[in-house]
Structure 1
Amino acid sequence: MISQGYSISDEPERAFRVFNQLRAKGITLDRFSFITTLKSCSRDLCSSIGEGLHGIALRSGFMVFTDLRNALLQFYCVCGRINDARKVFDEMPHSVDSVSFSTLMNGYLQVSKKALALDLFRIMRNSEVPVNVSTLLSFLSATGDLGNLSGAESAHGLCIKIGFNLDLHLITALIGMYGKIGDIGSARRIFDCAIRKDVVTWNCMIDQYAKMGILEECVWLLRQMKYERMKPNSSTFVGLLSSCANSEAAFVGRSVADLVEEERIALDAKLGTALVDMYAKLGMLDKAVEIFNRMKDKDVKSWTAMISGYGAHGLAREAVTLFNKMEEENCKVRPNEITFLVVLNACSHGGLIMEGIRCFKRMVEAYSFTPKVEHYGCVVDLLGRAGQLEEAYELIRNLPITSDSTAWRALLAACRVYGNADLGESVMMRLAEMDEIHPADAILIAGTHAVAGNPQKSLDDELNKARKEAGYSAIEIE
């Protein structure tokens, strides 16, 4: 019982010590001792200890029990050892139950092996093991991820045939499945026909419309929620606000934000971050700052969104100042690679050379992050804007990643600013060697020659080397 208590506590590792103490004292252990300790291994991702327990259970003869085998299945799946989980499953052909199938199917979904999850469900259907809600949820998730319309319709029919079509979890999963494959009409019909709906069902339908950019339907559903006296929560708005930001739908975004205030939804980290990101992208930086300052619990995404907002509005010093404040005041919140990327980007566009280099060094030395090509691209852009083209060229040549064009293209843009045609031609040769020539590169190199005083290198000549893509623009109509 003590081991079981520790397995669900905030200190699951203490269950290991209890287990070992009982074995050392010669106390006979039953299968439940193994199950609770394996649960602790799953929670703490203790792969080696769990593997050791597996061996002890084999020697003790407890592997005949299905519940212990299922605990082992869960442990291996949680640890990402899906092949070991499948071995355990295959060793119990006559004792598998619906929990065994559901656990392994979820394990396949966690490692993005959707097709294998569907194969396992077909095996389950051909066996005498009854299908339950949990296995159907996994089946619907895998079907949606694979984007198979006929498979989705078959899955929907199966839910009706088995008689689970009134289960709220399955209704929500069906909406999500049809949304993933782009059949928003079928998703809406399921939603409208549902006899009862909870807030999760409403959130799922709103989120599917938001992902497809059909924002007017999202707003209509929000109004309908209010009419039916269904209280929204923070998750109701997060996906919709992100879609408003990406679509630059200012009117819809403001309407949704007003509804958040009207419903007095608590500004948790996810909702607050979505509001900050939306206001910043829609050009309302003052509102973004106001929301950010009101947030009590900020995570790394919250800080990163606000830093990015400052950088996008050309306020590079404010972005660096906020980054420094994040380091000084929040020991629990550490910057991640994206945080450093937005700071470097702000420094690059703001011409803060020393601050950008210092940030890059802290990323490597203080936080032990390995820079990605995007980080190098920002540093190259920073050096290029400062006219230090040769330094930028040497930095790219020594990159551990040689196949990405981001850093080279940043240098090419700098060559145009300073009219360094010779270096620009060298960069174009590099891009050609990587088969990464883009129509925009032709414009950049032509501009480089123009600045350098070489009119014979015309834009038409360069554009003939690359096919120019058509552009488009959009406006918002309220």
Structure 2
Amino acid sequence: MTCRNFVLRLKNLDTRTTQFDSRCLKLIQDLRCCRDSVGVSRIHCDMVKTGMDKYDFAVSKLIAFSINDIRYASSIFDHVSDTNLYMFNTMLKGYSMSDEPERAFRIFNQLRAKGLTLDRFSFITTLKSCSRELCIRNGEGLHGIVLRSGFMSFTDLRNALLHFYCVCGKIIDARKVFDEMPLRADAVSFSTLMNGYLQVSKPVLALDLFREMRKTEVTVSVTTLLSFLSAIGDLSGAESVYGLCIKTGFDSDLHVITALIGMYAKNGDMSSARRIFDCATRKDVVLWNCMIDQYAKMGLLEECLWLLRQMKYDKIKPNSSTFVGLLSSCANYAAAYVGQSVGELVEKERIALDAKLGTALVDMYAKLGRLDKAVDIFDRMKNKDVKSWTAMISGYGAHGLAREAITLFNKMEEENYKVKPNEITFLVVLNACSHGGLVMEGIKGFKRMVEAYGFTPKVEHYGCVVDLLGRAGQLEEAYELIRNLPIASDSTAWRALLAACRVYGNADLGAVVMTRLAEMNARHPADAILLARTQAFAGNSQCQQRSVDNELYQEKKEAGYSAIEIESIREANSGLHSPMC
């Protein structure tokens, strides 16, 4: 080859390289403009037509911009003849964010089998999938590979391991990983371990860790401070932590302000929580929602209404989260006037009925006796989750409409491609059958829960079946059920049977149940009254009166608390009520 020919080949190569670079840049720009998988698919077709799909760089970028549709990305990945590390890591990242994180393990095994050199990102994304799936065995195996591969010096990889162990509840292993960080623990490490301690209900250790961090050169971050605020269990350290927020300059951060309000409210200091709220120079809807929610939890519903009016004055538009907690409190405190006002405000503001808000409205109206309104809200909801269906079924059951509850449950099962019932759903179905006397339907529902859905019955489910049998007069069957199942130590189930004994006048079995309650140290004044009425029904009232009186006087009455709403004003009273003359 002459020198001239060689120079010409170099020029042609340079021209082709320039053309390829420009095409790649255009490809990346086009991919960045795509907002859905349809656009990515269109670009993929153009790549096939122009031959760009033969270049690893182009295919790698195509996979990277397809991971929001992980199945489409997987179809591209599976047809690549020579996959590289970037493609593998992209797929690992995609699966870690998808609804199928367990598939990341297959990709990771393929990566190792191919013999490519792994980097720390391969481990970090796979550990994230382990955390989401709570795959302890796979995560521990990855930990071993990391140790053998020599990647433990990277702080971000150590933090991924730390997060994995914390999420899986293996807090001792998490602490070991943390302690093996030689002078490399950062704010993320401290925050992760603090959250791990909180997850396993060890707030004292979380506080100790925060104090340990303060002795190091690690700068307090917002995330770390939020974890610390979550760990505060009493007001003894509240003022000092508030001072720390001011000192570090985070007292103006809305996330920190929200956490401070939650901290004070959790400890019952609503005046300090309100002071923090009022001092905030900038309030977004999340902060308003937080303050309203805390008042609602305390039953201070008038304060909630005042804040809603203030929001309107400040031109802050509420969202669905503004009302969810407030509506639940209205239902729990039977505050009909406040609940009605809030419901009207939701309609006036035209707040979209998402699953949470719709469920809260259904639950409130059903509990306040407005079943017609609850049904109307339920029918208008476009997106219903399992809680929505459960709330409506519960509403029917509470109003004695057991047949309607069963019909709605059957309709829910017909739409099982959308929503599947959970254990609570079956509990409200059983409760509805119990109160409606639908014995066969209740037994059928119980069997379906176990056989069709694979749920393990809990004490509450067995208790409903006992109540169901008792109300139907099948007392001996209910008695045998309690004796032979894991509810023998549950006083609620025995008490339900005792109530059934009173209804059907079975004094002998009632005495057996009373003896069992006494052995469990679960006696209650109401039990003695039930037994007395059972004996009276059996014509044996006089001989039982003395023992019943003894039972009642042995029990110490505690002060009670009651609340009632009169003309939209909630009146509360505490202490023992005066006896009626």
Q: Give the TM-score of the pair, scaled to structure 1.
A: 0.95
Q: Which residue of 2 aligns with 1:277?
A: 363
Distance, in Å, in 2 between the alignment partners of 1:334 and 1:14 is: 24
CA separation of 1:20 and 1:98: change in aligned 2, threshold 3 A? same
Q: CA deviation at 1:332?
A: 3.5
Deviations 1:35-57 (A, max 9, x none): 23323333343333322222122
The one-letter code sitting in structure 1 at the alignment partner of 2:481 is: L
Contact 1:3-1:37 at 8 Å conserved across structures: no
Work out whether residues 503 and 534 of structure 2, in 8 Å CA contact, stay in contact via their aligned partners in 1: yes
Query: Which residue matches 2:87?
Result: 2
Paired residues in the alignment total 475
- What corresponds to 1:129 in structure 2? 218
User: Do residues 444 (structure 1) and 533 (structure 2) align?
Assistant: no
Q: Hey, what does 2:572 align to over in structure 1?
A: none
Contact 1:443 1:463 (8 Å CA) reproduced: no
For residue 219 of structure 1, what is the aligned residue in structure 2?
305
Q: Which has the higher contact order (CA 8 A, sep 6+)?
A: 1
User: 2:185 maps to what in 1?
Assistant: 96
Q: Cα distance 1:376–1:136, how it changes in 2: closer, same or farther (>3 A)?
A: same
Corresponding residue for residue 385 of structure 1: 471
Q: What is the deviation of 1:401?
A: 2.9
**Candidates 181, 203, 208, aligned match of 1:119:** 208
CA contact (8 A) 2:533 2:541 kept: no
* Shift of residue 112, structure 1, vs aligned partner: 2.0
* Alignment pair present for 1:57 and 2:152: no
Deviations 1:258-296 (A, max 9, x none): 111111111111111100000000000000001111111
Matching residue of 2:247: 161
Deviation at 1:2, TM superposition (A): 2.9
How far apart, CA to CA, are the structure 1 residues paired with 2:398 and 2:265? Answer: 32
Structure 1 residue aligned with 2:381, among 279, 286, 295?
295
**Paired position in structure 1 for 2:512:** 426
Equivalent residue number for residue 239 of structure 1: 325
Aligned equivalents of 2:106 and 2:529: distance in 1?
A: 67
Secondary structure, in 3 states, of the residue corresponding to 1:348?
Answer: helix
**Equivalent pair of 2:257/2:276 in contact (CA under 8 Å):** yes
Which structure has the greater CA radius of gyration?
Answer: 2
Matched, 1:321 2:410: no
Q: Kindly, what percent of the aligned residue pairs are identical?
A: 80
Q: CA deviation at 1:304?
A: 0.9
Give the match's secondary structure for 1:20. Answer: helix
Do structure 1's residue 139 and structure 2's residue 228 form an aligned pair?
A: yes
Q: Which moved more, 1:220-229 or 1:392-401?
A: 392-401
Relative to structure 1, the CA distance from residue 472 to residue 220 in structure 2 (aligned partners, 3 Å threshold; closer, same or farther) is closer
TM-score, structure 2 normalization: 0.79
Question: Is residue 443 of structure 2 the alignment partner of residue 354 of structure 1?
Answer: no
Offset at 1:93? 3.4
Secondary structure of the residue aligned to 1:253 is helix
In 1, the alpha carbon distance for the partners of 2:109 and 2:507 equals 72
Q: Secondary structure of the residue that 1:377 maps to in structure 2?
A: helix
TM-fit CA distance, 1:446: 0.6
Select between 301-310 and 391-400 the one with higher mean Cα deviation. 391-400
- 1:472–1:208: structure 2 CA closer, same or farther, 3 Å change rule? closer
Q: Which runs of 5+ in 1 are unaligned?
A: none
Please list the CA deviations of residues 290-310 of structure 1 after superposition, one character each: whole Å capped at 9, or x if unmatched.
111111111111111111100
Deviates more, 1:282-291 or 1:108-117: 108-117
**Distance in 1 between the 2:308 and 2:348 partners?**
12
User: Is the counterpart of residue 48 in structure 1 residue 137 in structure 2?
Assistant: yes
Residue deviations 1:135-192 (CA, integer Å, cap 9, x gap): 000000110xx2x111111111111112211111101110010010000000000000
Assess if the C-alpha contact under 8 Å between 2:487 and 2:493 holds in 1: no
- The residue aligned with 1:152 is 238
Q: Distance in 2 between matches of 1:391 and 1:25?
A: 63
Quote how far apart the aligned CAs of 1:106 are: 1.4
Moved more, 451-460 or 228-237: 451-460
- Whether contact under 8 Å (1:419, 1:452) holds in the other structure is yes
1:67 to 156, 159, 168: 156
- Residue 394 of structure 1 pairs with residue 483 of structure 2: no
Q: Distance in 1 between matches of 2:411 and 2:491?
A: 34
SS where residue 475 of structure 1 aligns? strand
Q: Does 1:255 align with 2:341?
A: yes
Matched residue type, 1:103: T
Q: Secondary structure at the match of 2:251?
A: coil
Cα deviation code 1:429-464 (max 9, x no counterpart): 111111111000011001011111113135464032
Contact 2:386 2:419 in 1 (8 A): yes
CA–CA separation in structure 1 for the residues paired with 2:121 and 2:419: 39
Give the CA RMSD over aligned residues.
Answer: 1.7
Which of 92, 98, 113 is the aligned partner of 1:24?
Answer: 113
Give the letter aligned to residue 64 of structure 1.
Answer: S
Structure 1 residue 385: deviation in Å? 1.7
Aligned-partner residue type, residue 20 of structure 1: N
Check the 8 A contact 2:320/2:352 in 1, yes or no. yes
What SS is found at the alignment partner of 2:541? coil
1:85 equivalent to 2:213? Answer no
The match for 2:126 is: 37
Q: Please give the secondary structure, in 2, of the residue aligned with 1:224.
A: helix
* CA shift for structure 1 position 389: 1.4
The 3-state SS of whatever aligns with 2:207 is: helix
1:409-431 deviations in whole A, cap 9, x for unaligned? Answer: 11111111111111111111111
Matched to 1:215, the amino acid is: L
Deviation at residue 110 of structure 1 after TM alignment: 2.0
Post-superposition offset of 1:5: 3.1
Q: Counterpart in 1 of 2:461?
A: 375
User: In 2, distance between residues paired with 1:409 and 1:196?
Assistant: 54
**Which has the higher mean CA deviation after the structures are superposed, 305-314 or 54-63?**
54-63
Q: Determine if contact 1:218/1:240 at 8 Å carries over to the other structure.
A: yes
CA distance 1:366–1:387, shift in 2 (3 Å): same
- Residues 345/457 of structure 1: CA separation in 2 closer, same or farther (3 Å cut): farther
The 2-side partners of 1:472 and 1:206 are apart by 23
The equivalent residue for 1:454 is 540
Q: Counterparts in 2 of 1:303-342, with a 5 A limit?
A: 303-342=389-428
| Rounded Cα–Cα distance in structure 2 between residues aligned with 1:140 and 1:267 | 33
- What corresponds to 2:450 in structure 1? 364
